[in-house]
């Protein structure tokens, strides 16, 4: 099944906090439940939380009481602010909510009632989810061109089906290379402290039969120095206008290691992860999560009681350490600023064309 799916007026999510022990599906029936699922990381990964938030907005629209449209729009804006507050770093969350609000404004502008609003918002959330799947496959195809036959690839965190609606970004590239029978091997960083690599990426690769070796994060340098790694590929939570990349804590260290060892460091992400409003990575809000996630593993305390622990959930990799950014619009090389601007513009144009095509089909029908 998909990680994020809407069925029978409910958002169905794979609960990523109990994997790999259990494959459990949870249902959210209110925007508040969606916000909580994002906050507690039952659903996680930038594109997946974007799609989940879009369905959260669709649920908010379904709950609107018949009445004045300005009130309905104000209710939706409040629901959007609440969803956005769940996690601050991945821009896909705000991107999806803002896109849903634009769809609401456009529908309300045609003097439609709340039923039409609910229908339009569910259609927009479905479009976001479908686009994510198509986008990931495109990223996989472009990224595959960069993967040599027999490559040993290091990846961090989880960027697969679980982090998206389906298929994955960096893991989508790995999936595409494996599908192309390139006989690749993957080093999976366990990704302390929440262990998205050990719990989720290892689970996904295992299901796909992709050869892997799980390592703790501090082993990456050792294997690079031995010549066991050919390249690193990671996802992103936010890419600023100059190409700086916020991603799971530990990514920056990997990029520095790649530089030291002369290895390519690739970032795979959809254009919905690009935030042209921020000039550089210093402006990105880094989520601080509970120190319990550092002092405990799977609920068991591993540090002395009361010890102070820091937990920035993300770090920023400066653009100069990034070899290329793989998007659904192609492989972008430095200088990233103009390349990112062009990619975002092309993605927006493609969306407009597809939306007007759908509109035309509806009119003809
Ligand atoms: O805290 P998480 O697990 O949501 O962090 C996820 C990551 O950092 C991923 O690398 C990123 O969202 C890209 S997912 C395709």
Q: Lowest-pLDDT range, 36-50, 62-76, 288-302?
A: 62-76
Binning the chain into helix, strand and coil, the percentages to the nearest 5 are 50, 15, 35
Q: Is the pTM of this model over 0.75?
A: yes
Torsions phi, psi for 155 (to 5 deg): -130, 160
pLDDT per residue as tens digits for the range 94-109: 999 999 999 999 998 8
Report the C-alpha gap between 135 and 270 in whole angstroms. Answer: 7
Q: Cα separation of 26 and 146, whole Å? A: 37
**Is the pLDDT higher at 81 or at 112?**
81
Check whether 362 has a pLDDT greater than 60.
no
> For the segment 150-209, what is each residue's pLDDT rounded down to a tens digit?
999 999 999 999 999 999 999 999 999 999 999 999 999 999 999 999 999 999 999 999
What is the best residue among 41, 45, 140, 313 to mutate for testing ligand 1's pocket, by most ligand atoms within 8 Å of CB?
45
Number of the ligand 1 atom closest to the C-alpha atom of 196: 3
Mutational pocket test of ligand 1: of 15, 89, 159, the residue with most ligand atoms within 8 Å of the beta carbon: 159
Burial of 353 (0-12, 13-18, 19+ CB in 10 A): exposed
> What is the H or E stretch that residue 37 is in?
helix 31-39
Ligand 1 pocket (Cβ < 6 Å) reads 44-47, 90, 157, 159, 163-164, 169, 196, 235-237, 247-248, 313
* Mean pLDDT of the residues in the chain: 95
């Amino acid at each position: 099944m998909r990680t994020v799916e809407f069925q029978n007026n409910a958002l169905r999510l794979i609960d990523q906090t109990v994997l790999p022990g259990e494959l459990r599906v949870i249902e959210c029936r209110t925007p508040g439940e969606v916000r909580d699922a994002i906050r507690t990381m039952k659903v996680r990964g930038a594109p997946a939380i974007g799609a989940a938030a879009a369905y959260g907005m669709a649920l908010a629209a379904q709950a609107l009481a018949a009445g004045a449209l300005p009130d309905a729009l104000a209710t939706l804006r409040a629901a959007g602010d609440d969803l956005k507050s769940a996690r601050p770093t991945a821009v896909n969350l705000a991107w999806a909510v803002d896109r849903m609000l634009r769809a609401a404004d456009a529908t309300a502008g045609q003097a439609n009632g709340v039923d039409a609003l609910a229908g339009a918002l569910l259609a927009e959330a479905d479009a976001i989810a479908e686009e994510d799947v198509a986008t990931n496959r495109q990223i996989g195809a472009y990224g595959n061109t960069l993967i040599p036959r027999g490559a040993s690839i290091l990846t961090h965190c989880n960027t697969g089906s679980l982090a998206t609606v389906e298929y994955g970004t960096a893991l989508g590239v790995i999936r595409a290379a494996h599908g192309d029978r390139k006989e690749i091997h993957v080093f999976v960083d366990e990704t302390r402290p929440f262990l998205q690599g050990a719990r989720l990426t290892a689970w996904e690769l295992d299901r796909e039969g992709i050869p892997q070796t799980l390592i703790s994060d501090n082993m990456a340098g050792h294997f690079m120095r031995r010549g066991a790694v050919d390249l690193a590929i990671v996802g992103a939570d936010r890419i600023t206008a100059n190409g700086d990349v916020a991603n799971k804590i530990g990514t920056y260290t990997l990029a520095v290691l790649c530089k030291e060892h002369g290895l390519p460091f690739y970032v795979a992400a959809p254009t919905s992860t690009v935030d042209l409003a921020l000039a550089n990575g210093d402006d990105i809000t880094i989520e601080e999560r509970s120190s319990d996630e550092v002092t405990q593993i799977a609920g068991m305390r591993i540090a002395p009681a009361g010890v102070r622990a820091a937990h920035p959930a993300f770090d920023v990799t400066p653009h100069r350490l990034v070899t290329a950014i793989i998007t659904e619009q192609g492989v972008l090389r430095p200088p990233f600023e103009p390349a990112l601007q062009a990619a975002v513009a092309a993605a927006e144009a493609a969306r407009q064309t597809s939306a007007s095509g759908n509109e035309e089909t509806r009119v003809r029908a």
